[in-house]
Amino acid sequence: MKMSFVPKGVIPAVVTPMNKDESINESAFRKLLNYLVDNGVHGVFIIGSQGEFYALTREEKIRLMEIAVEEVNGRVPVYAGTGGITTREVIELNDAAEKIGVDAVSIITPYYISPSQEELYEHYVKIAKATKLPVLLYNNPGRTGGVKLEPRTVERLAEIDNIVGIKDSSGDLTNTSDYIRRTKGKNFHVLAGRDTLILATLLYGGTGSIAATANVAPKLVASIYDYFVKGDLENAKRAQEELTPLRLAFELGTFPVVIKEALNMIGIEAGPARGPIRSLSEEKKAELRKVLQNMKLL
């Protein structure tokens, strides 16, 4: 029987706050989680790309999961990124996530290596069978050297009981819509991973978004989904348009520093990104500050 868990709504891809020495700032992480939940998001997604998962040790990932589960305390679902290069390391991290009590795991395709579609299929099947948790696939070819989950592969994976959906960060609406078309009726859910395509994904039949910009503007981003569910497409479209400049501002620096800079500017402690990622130049900070001012976030 297919698992009933439904990933839906706006789920911030939560940053991992750091101290000046690049150690994790646990108190700032707790404050950020509360800020997001208090401002109407529908879940939190920790240890993803925006959360600098690639820069964290296994022990740090486990600690972040423990804090999130404790601090959120059941108010919204906690999703944790548990992706890795090998099937074995993903399964091991999922075991920890299950014991800690996260609600679902999100697993990016392997990076550095370039598996075939059949290898990706076997990778996810083994992972899903080794955990009781709901599994969310994660397609982000721009961050994985072009490794992507083809719609036909996702169609096959949607048959697995606890594979409940996919986050598509390809930025290709044709790809997203094909995921939705091929998995219709399978109790499988597609989430936008590109913040400029939240409303478009919902209109095609998706169920929400995992959105980095929701760290900075949680009310605005959550309202896109809330308006859509109410049938108020005009306001959903307005909110989506208001959000676009913040997503486009990602180009001002090396991912994932821009959202951290924006949080620091609006008075929410996020600290630096881990090296080699550098802070924005003063010129780029001025451009970002103007975006935030125009959005009335400053």
Model pLDDT, residue 3: 85
Cβ–Cβ < 8 Å for 287, 252: yes
The one catalytic residue in 167, 179, 225, 260 is 167
Cβ–Cβ < 8 Å for 80, 105: yes
Mean pLDDT of the chain: 97
Cα separation, 166 vs 138, in Å, equals 5
**Span 210-220, pLDDT tens digits:** 999 999 999 99
138 is catalytic: yes
* Interaxial angle between packed helices 233-248 and 218-230, expressed in degrees from 0 to 180 and rounded to the nearest 10: 150
**Span 6-49, pLDDT tens digits:** 999 999 999 999 999 999 999 999 999 999 999 999 999 999 99
Q: Which of the 8 DSSP states describes residue 22?
A: S
Q: What is the CA radius of gyration of the chain?
A: 18
167 is catalytic: yes
**Span 89-104, pLDDT tens digits:** 999 999 999 999 999 9
Cβ–Cβ < 8 Å for 118, 152: no
Model pLDDT, residue 264: 97
The one catalytic residue in 79, 121, 124, 138 is 138
